[in-house]
A = this chain, B = another copy of it.
Amino acid sequence: MSKNLEISKLLDFYGILLTDKQREIAEYYYNDDLSLGEIAENLDISRQGVRDSIKRSETVLFEAEEKLSLIGKSEILKNSLEAIKRNITAISVENEMYNNSAISHSTEKILNELEKLSEI
């Protein structure tokens, strides 16, 4: 069982699929970097209980990504939104020559949509 960034990311995406107790333990372990012993003491449960909970949570988290691929899709979305933004900026720069208000209006609208999508 190794602590790593990947599981913190899985927790961000799929933590909601764990029970409240599993999530609490996993967040202590992966996000706050507490040891099994420290978590056991904090929650007044056995060290083995903490270990079992973390192993169970890892299984749920890895299976969720294997089935739903939300992290993979989120990367594709992020890269595409950045590419669109770069190209909109390029269009805006070119449009400075023409000062075409219809083009400015459209680039503005697209930037608003990109802003909206950066939050989903």
Contact = CB atoms under 8 A, between A and B. Distances in A.
Given A68-B16, A84-B84, A100-B94, A76 B106 contact: no
B113 A91 contact: no
Contact of A83 (B88, B90, B109, B120): B109
Given A91-B91, A94-B100, A120 B76 contact: yes
A117 interface: yes
Instruction: Tell me the interface secondary structure of chain A in the complex.
Output: helix
Interface string A39-69: 0000000000000000000000000000110
Given A67-B17, A76-B117, A77-B117, A110 B94 contact: no
